[in-house]
Amino acid sequence: MPPDTARAPDRVILCMKWGTKYGPEYVNRLYAMVRRHLKGEFRFVCLTDRSEGIRAEVQCLPIPELKLPAGIPERGWTKLTTFEADLHGLKGTALFLDLDVVIVDDITPFFEVPGEFLIIHDWKRPWRVTGNSSVYRFTLGAHADVLAKFRTEHEAIRQAFRNEQAYLSDEMHKQGRLQYWDDAWCASYKYHCIPAWPTSYWREPFIPKGARILIFHGVMNPPDALAGRNNGNWRHARPAPWIAQHWRE
């Protein structure tokens, strides 16, 4: 049975699963990684349209409607619904994690850094304000204006910004609320774990010093890293069997 909302701890781990790209094992393994690497109590919530196969410790709740006109491609904008003024009655501080991240060290500090809104700073173009929304933290219900603005100005926003993380970062920056995680905490598997060419042909990928969460963006995900598949990415990578030590139930 899901825990009683009235008795919930004030720390909420949020993830989102829709469609069939990711199976329930991604949610289950994410929960297990959080349980191993987050000290103290927390509520784990998956916003999803498919709860089959998800472990009982995870509270599955419906994904709020984005409320875009019919026929408009979603393209990841659904993440903005985490900013509903009332997200199923949830209260407290939420840490959103993408389903395909791999947690390798203590994530308790992600709840301890002061700030209204924290997100990963873009690795490829650090001169921009744009963050990577694989890991972000906020107070539930505190930024409903960001979602409300998107719902009323979606056409102009979609023309101005490539995706939700670009819009979200820009909006929080304008409001003076945008902050970034410590640069070492969230490492890109593609940019930081795969050795530089040509050593990537004989050196195994590794966990960068200080990394707490590994981010899989682009065409590679944890199973690909395990097998050494690059799926067309120009970065060659050997298999990383150590992924299995972390990405497990």
Q: Out of 67-81, 192-206, 209-223, 234-248, which region has the weakest mean confidence (pLDDT)?
A: 67-81
Spatial separation of the C-alpha atoms in residues 126 and 133, rounded to whole Å: 14
Whether residue 85 is found in the same domain as residue 135: yes
Q: Per-residue pLDDT for 19 more than 90?
A: no
Percent of the chain at pLDDT exceeding 90: 80
Whether residue 193 is found in the same domain as residue 173: no
Q: Which of 235, 241, 244, 243 is nearest to 201 (CA)?
A: 235
Q: What is the mean pLDDT of the chain?
A: 92
Q: What is the CATH number of the domain that holds 84?
A: 3.90.550.10
Prior bond of 205 cis (ω within 30°): no
Burial class (CB in 10 A: 0-12, 13-18, 19+), 209: exposed
Total domains, the chain: 2
**Mean pLDDT of the 35-56 span:** 97
Residues 6+ apart with CB under 8 A from 245: none
| pTM to 2 decimal places | 0.93
Whether residue 78 is found in the same domain as residue 170: yes
Whether residue 71 is found in the same domain as residue 95: yes
pLDDT (tens digit, 9 = 90+) per residue, 67-94? 877 766 666 799 999 999 999 999 999 9
Q: Concatenate the DSSP letters of all residues of 95-120 into one string.
A: EEE-TT-EE-S--GGGGTS--SEEEE
Burial class (CB in 10 A: 0-12, 13-18, 19+), 148: middle
Among residues 180, 208, 224, which one ends one of the domains? Answer: 180
pLDDT for position 3: 44
Q: Which of 61, 51, 65, 66 is nearest to 14 (CA)?
A: 61
Residue with tokens 């820009």: 170
R_g of the chain, CA atoms, integer Å: 18
β-pair partners for 93: 11, 139
The residue segments making up the domain with residue 235 are 186-246
Whether residue 76 is found in the same domain as residue 132: yes
Residue type, position 61, single letter:
L
